[in-house]
Amino acid sequence: MRAIFTVRPVDERWEVSCSGAASPLGLYARRNTAVKAARDAAERDLPSRLVVVNRRGVVESDRLFGEDRLEADLAGMRALEEALPEMEDG
């Protein structure tokens, strides 16, 4: 299952949280510091996703790290389908 790391504003600071965690991973004074901490955590916990929400509550960025097993299976199936010759019904 893909862990989802989220950076969002809380009062005058930036919170980094992870799906399923009981408490935030950290609070940061600067947005860039929070995004870097969340990105580092997402890169360590593959597969994962990093979502950054701006002060207006709008998702500013959404990035995937690593590959889910389902994604790998679907990509393999698509490649296999493309390699197979067309068959006539009959």
pLDDT at position 7: 98
Q: Which residues pair with 82 in a beta bridge?
A: none
| pLDDT averaged over every residue in the chain | 87
| 37 or 64, which is more confident | 37
| 51 or 74, which is more confident | 51
Is the pLDDT at 83 greater than 80, yes or no?
no
Q: Which residues pair with 26 in a beta bridge?
A: 16
pLDDT at position 76: 63
Is the pLDDT at 89 greater than 60, yes or no?
no
What span, in angstroms and rounded, lies between the C-alpha atoms of 25 and 19?
Answer: 10
What span, in angstroms and rounded, lies between the C-alpha atoms of 49 and 57?
Answer: 18
pLDDT at position 18: 96
What span, in angstroms and rounded, lies between the C-alpha atoms of 3 and 63?
Answer: 12
